[in-house]
Amino acid sequence: MPSNPEIVVSIVAGVFLLIFGEAIANIFGLLVFAILTLGFIRVQGPEDRERVFPWHGFARNEAGKLLVQTEMAGGIGMITGIAVCVFLWRYGVFTR
C-alpha cells in the first residue's frame, strides 16, 4: 500500500500531465520533426489552418513542401517521448 506522500505525488503528477501533457507532446513533436527530418517536413502553422489534411495527417503546400498536421506531430512526439523514457528507464538512467 503506497504511503500518503506517494499518493499525493502521483495525484499531482497525473493532474500536471492532464493539463500540460498535450502541450508537452506538441513541443516534443515539433522538435522531433525539426531534428529528424532536417526541415524537409514542416509542422502545420497558422497560415495552414484552413488546409484540409487527409486521414494520415500529411499534405503538401503550394510550394510542394510536405506538411504534417499539428495533432499528428503531437502524437508522434508523444510516442517518441514515451519510447525515450522507456529506453532510459530500461538502462537504469533514472536509478543512478
Higher pLDDT, 4 or 93: 93
pLDDT in tens, 3-38: 667 778 778 888 887 778 778 888 888 888 888 888
Confidence of residue 96 (pLDDT cuts 50, 70, 90): low
What percentage of the chain reaches a pLDDT higher than 90?
A: 3
Q: Is pLDDT of 52 > 60?
A: yes
What is the layout of strands, in order, in the sheet containing 66-68? 41-43, 66-68, 58-60
Confidence of residue 1 (pLDDT cuts 50, 70, 90): low
Look at residues 47, 85, 86, 82 and name the one whose alpha carbon lies nearest to residue 63: 47
Report which DSSP code applies to 45: -
Average pLDDT of every residue of the chain: 82
Q: What is the pLDDT of residue 35?
A: 86
For the segment 82-88, the average pLDDT, to the nearest whole number, is 86
| Torsion angle in degrees (nearest 10) through CA of 78, 56, 43, 13 | -20
Give the amino acid at 88.
L
Q: Is 67 exposed, middle or buried (0-12, 13-18, 19+ CB in 10 A)?
A: buried
- Its pTM surpasses 0.75: no
